[in-house]
Amino acid sequence: MRLIMLGPPGAGKGTQSKLLSKKFNIPQISTGDILRAAREAESPLGLKVKEILSRGDLVSDDIVNQLVREKITSPECENGFILDGYPRTLGQANTLDYFLKEMLKYDLRVVSISVPRSILINRLANRRKCNNCNTEFNLTQSIKCPNCSSEDLFQRKDDNAETIAHRLALYEEETKPLIEYYEMKKNLFHFNGNEKVDILLNKIIEKITL
């Protein structure tokens, strides 16, 4: 199964991708996670994208296309993958189509998750990660890590009010047109992301396995 998770920042793409990855035993490819890891490792790529990430701007298509190509052609992706945060521009979507054609893989499905803007802002501003066990959660659910009760929490550098507004605007401009792009290809499924995690997960599984 080859899946794309499409939706604005804070829609829950990462949460659902991790669960779907376990369920179908295929890897989650999060371009955001890969870029943040490169930044933490201070690799040449990390140094190049550091400022772009903190501004909430998009990394160039060339860089992310290359990253994704390496991943999806690797042996661990032989049986499929879940793309989380890619493609994010029409240019990236066209390039992905080209990669898949080259690989003779045509079974792409797109999961589109929508959430009202006010809820997205609330979710992003309250998003925290536990420094102890890496669990991601929301301060509105709990003020301690729900997994290990640690109070040693971490907030993503781009989850501040100004950068959140910029990321949402970029989503509207650059990424939202992809909904129509995949609708025309008739491989897109719509979901309401303002639902409980397990309920949404079950709805996604039901639709994509039909």
Q: C-beta of 210: minimal distance to ligand ADP in Å?
A: 27
List the x/- string, 70-109, binding to ligand ADP by CB under 6 A.
---------------xx-x---x-----------------
Q: C-beta of 57: minimal distance to ligand ADP in Å?
A: 6
The reply to whether 58 sits near ligand ADP by the rule CB under 6 A is yes
Q: C-beta of 209: minimal distance to ligand ADP in Å?
A: 25
Length of the chain in terms of residues written: 210
Q: Phi and psi dihedrals of 10, rounded to 5? A: 90, 0
Q: C-beta of 6: minimal distance to ligand ADP in Å?
A: 11
Which strands form 188-192's sheet, in the order they lie side by side? 28-30, 81-84, 2-6, 108-114, 188-192
Instruction: DSSP letter for 112, please.
Output: E
Look at the block and give the residue holding tokens 């929490």.
Answer: 153
- CB nearer to ligand ADP: pick between 63 and 153: 63
Of the residues 48, 105, 156, 176, which is catalytic?
Answer: 156
Burial category of 175 from C-beta neighbours within 10 Å (exposed 0-12, middle 13-18, buried 19 and up): buried
Instruction: DSSP letter for 76, please.
Output: G
Pairing of strands 81-84, 2-6: parallel
- Give yes or no: 2 in active site: no
Active site residues: 13, 88, 127, 156, 167
Kindly list the residues in this chain that would bind ligand ADP in the complex (CB under 6 A).
Answer: 9, 31-32, 35, 52-53, 56-59, 64, 85-86, 88, 92, 158, 167
